[in-house]
Chain A
Amino acid sequence: MYSDKVMDHFEHPRNVGEIDNASGSGTVGNAKCGDIMKMDIKVENGVIVDAKFKTFGCCAAVATSSMATEMIKGKTIEEALALTNKQVMDELGGLPPVKIHCSVLAEESIRAALEDYQKKHA
């Protein structure tokens, strides 16, 4: 039911962990619905140089977190803000329809981390 790419990111998630003194961090979702994502980013000269995540959630949630961190690294704040959930899913080769709601957290957590960064640096 999951694509090979999803399984690869689930089995070998990239960028798991936390960043000490992160430039921005955001936590979204809640335990009630079964998915929580925490995203830390490190920004230098307006560019995201590092991103790490921790996720409590299903295979789809883990894979989208992992892929999303890969996709925002090296991007400017503006570019990262423009990243959509759909782009992350497409990059993963799609997700089963019932799993789409688990994947929106990746986009939301990036946005939350970026907003945190912007607040701190306003």
Chain B
Amino acid sequence: MNHKMIYLDNAATTAVRPEVLDAMLPWFSAHYGNPSSIHAAGREAKIAVETARKQVAAAIGALPQEIYFTGCGSESDNWAIRGLADVAKGRHIITSAIEHHAVLHTCEYLEKKGYEVTYLPVDEYGFVSPQAVKDAIRGDTILITVMTANNEIGTVEPIAEIGAIAKEAGIPFHTDAVQAVGAIPVDVNAMNVDMLSMSAHKLGGPKGVGALYVRKGLRISPFIFGGAQEHNRRAGTENLASIVGMGKAIEIAAAELEEHGKRLTKLRDKLIGGVLKTIPDVRLNGHPTQRLPNNFNMCFRYIEGESLLMRLDLAGVEGSSGSACTSGSLDPSHVLLAIGLPHEIAHGSLRLTLGLDTTQEDIDYVLSKLPGIVQVLRDMSPLYHMDKAKENA
């Protein structure tokens, strides 16, 4: 293999940006104080954490005291939902069928505890209908949680509209913005959200650190009991270097958002358009324009996603798929099923998510390899053969 590997799985995780790594390094051993300590080393660590808190807050239009650092995006989701359910009077939660498992499995857990959860369906593009949210509200609804942008098909939800409905009904509204922050404009006030989940490793920061925005005045129960960190709500000595890294990463991502968004959208559309033009029997998953700038997700009929991924990998391209065989379960992705795809088509999905370093040449390379790979797999697929025989009959 003489071609460099082309990493197109930035929705799974991103590289830590060099500037971010530089910002983090001093906080491991040169400045290793505990932010809770009184002495100088502690004070400077405390200042570093609070600086990062301001950076995160600024990126989403929040106040620093509304930002809580967590261990990851999943923790933020878990905490928002369980923390709210703990203190709310009422037993009903509204969410969507296409949420990340961090939300879905938390809701399923609460169902076992006696809560009732409405999983709103989505349309063929993956949109949650604001009207359906409104219609699902009951007297005992305690929380609405709908993601800002979907991690598989990239659909950007009408969050501001849903937020307005929640606000009018007086129901707290949480959104999982793990894929959205750093990729598209996010503002907690414009979007009317009360809680918002973020994760650093999706936006050029380190793995294992996230944040939860909680609107001032909204009460949720603490997530980890212990010390007084994170306003007494999430105990544990801070992951200092990672928090510094998250602050730096989100600050840069917010500053470069427009520029990168435009560049990635162009590359994304070139990739989608190129595939539609050169490969028959394909479909785009998600909406053509209301989608994350870096997200490509298509189904290739008659072939199975893992085989496609492995062949792309052998050709030097790293992507992901929603096929059953890549998840280790018997069902393909719940998101692809929710947008109405039959199982056999959902098994043949390919997600390519572009990143900061993705170039025009990378896209050209993928477009040069994909048609051949798809044809090899189709030639060995019994489904292709059977369908084509039918068509020719």
Contact residues of A with B, CB < 8 Å?
10-11, 13, 16, 18, 27, 31-38, 54-62, 98-99, 101-102
Taking the closest CB of chain B, its distance from the CB of A26, in whole angstroms, is: 11
Chain A residue at smallest Cβ distance from B329:
A98
Categorize the interface residue count of chain B. Answer: 20 to 34
Bound Cα distance A58, B311 (Å): 11
Are A31 and B383 in touch, CB under 8 angstroms? yes
Of the A-B pairs whose beta carbons lie under 8 Å apart in the complex, a sample of 21, sorted by A's number, is A10-B307, A11-B311, A31-B383, A33-B324, A33-B343, A34-B323, A34-B332, A34-B343, A35-B304, A55-B380, A55-B382, A56-B344, A56-B382, A56-B384, A58-B306, A58-B323, A59-B306, A59-B310, A59-B325, A99-B325, A101-B330
Chain A nearest CB, measured from B1 CB (Å): 12
C-alpha gap A55/B323 in the complex (Å): 15
User: 0/1 per residue, B289-310, Cβ < 8 Å to A?
Assistant: 0000000000000111011001
Of B311, B324, B342, B385, chain A has the most CB atoms within 10 Å of the CB of B324
**Do A11 and B314 have beta carbons less than 8 Å apart?**
yes
State whether B330 touches A56 (Cβ < 8 A).
Answer: no
Chain A residues contacting B385 (CB-CB under 8 Å) are 18, 54
Do A10 and B383 touch across chains, with their CB atoms under 8 A apart? no
- Distance A38 CA – B324 CA, assembled complex (angstroms): 20
Q: Is the CB of A58 within 8 A of B314?
A: no
Q: B384 — which chain A residues lie within 8 A by C-beta? A: 56
Q: B322 → chain A, closest Cβ, in Å?
A: 11
A57 touches B307 (CB 8 A): yes
Interface residues of chain B, those whose CB is within 8 Å of chain A, are 302-304, 306-307, 310-311, 314, 323-326, 328, 330, 332, 342-344, 347, 379-385
Query: Which residues from chain A contact B323 at a C-beta distance below 8 Å?
Result: 34, 58
- CA A35 to CA B324, docked complex, whole Å: 10
Query: Which B residues are in CB contact (< 8 Å) with A33?
Result: 324, 330, 343
A35: chain B residues within 8 A (beta carbon): 304, 325
Q: How far is the CA of A30 from the CA of B382 in the complex (A)?
A: 11
B328–A38 contact, CB under 8 A?
Answer: no
User: Separation in Å of the B246 CB from the closest CB of chain A?
Assistant: 31
Q: Provide the residues of chain B in CB contact with A99, threshold 8 Å.
A: 325
**A60 touches which of B311, B325, B342, B383 (Cβ 8 Å):** B325
Given A34-B343, A59-B306, A99-B325: 17 more A-B contacts, CB < 8 Å: A10-B307, A31-B347, A31-B383, A32-B343, A33-B343, A34-B323, A34-B325, A34-B344, A38-B382, A54-B382, A56-B302, A56-B381, A57-B304, A58-B304, A58-B323, A58-B325, A98-B328
On whether A34 and B324 interact (CB within 8 A), knowing A10-B310, A58-B307, A59-B306, the answer reads yes
Residue of B nearest to A17 (CB): B380
- Does A59 contact B307, Cβ atoms closer than 8 Å? yes
List the B side residues contacting A11 at CB < 8 Å: 311, 314
B379 x A16 contact (CB < 8 A): yes
- CB atoms of B307 and A32 under 8 A apart: no
A15 CB, min distance to chain B CBs, angstroms: 10
> Complex formed: what's the CA distance from A58 to B381 in Å?
11
The answer to whether A56 and B303 touch across the interface, beta carbons within 8 angstroms, is yes
Assuming the contacts A16-B379, A31-B343, A31-B383, asked whether A57 and B314 have C-beta atoms less than 8 A apart, the reply is no
The 3 nearest A-B residue pairs measured at CB: A31-B344, A58-B325, A58-B306
Residues of A within 8 A of B383 (CB): 31, 36, 56
Q: How far is the CA of A102 from the CA of B347 in the complex (A)?
A: 14
Report the separation of the CA atoms of residues A27 and B385 in the bound assembly, to the nearest whole angstrom.
13
CA distance A30 to B285 in the complex (A): 23
Give Cα distance in the complex from A55 to B310, angstroms: 15
Closest to A54 in B: B382
A16 to B383 alpha-carbon distance, docked (Å): 14
Contact B347 A34 (CB under 8 A): yes
The reply to whether B307 and A16 form a contact with Cβ atoms under 8 Å apart is no
Chain B hits for A62, CB < 8 A: 307, 380
Q: In the complex, how many angstroms separate the beta carbon of B116 from the nearest chain A beta carbon?
A: 30
Inter-chain contacts of B379 with A (CB < 8 A): 16
| A38 partner residues in chain B, CB cutoff 8 A | 382
Q: Which residues of the other chain, B, contact A102 by a CB distance below 8 angstroms?
A: 325
Most buried by A among B326, B344, B380, B381: B380
**Residue ID in chain A nearest B343 by CB atoms:** A32
A98 and B324 CA atoms in complex are apart in Å by 11
Q: In the complex the two chains form, what is the Cα distance from A11 to B380 in whole Å?
A: 12
Q: Which residues of A contact B303 (CB under 8 A)?
A: 56
A62 CA / B306 CA spacing, docked (Å): 11
Q: What residues of chain A lie closer than 8 Å to B307, measured between beta carbons?
A: 10, 57-59, 62
Residue of chain A at shortest CB distance from B303:
A56
A27–B323 Cα distance when bound, in Å, is: 21
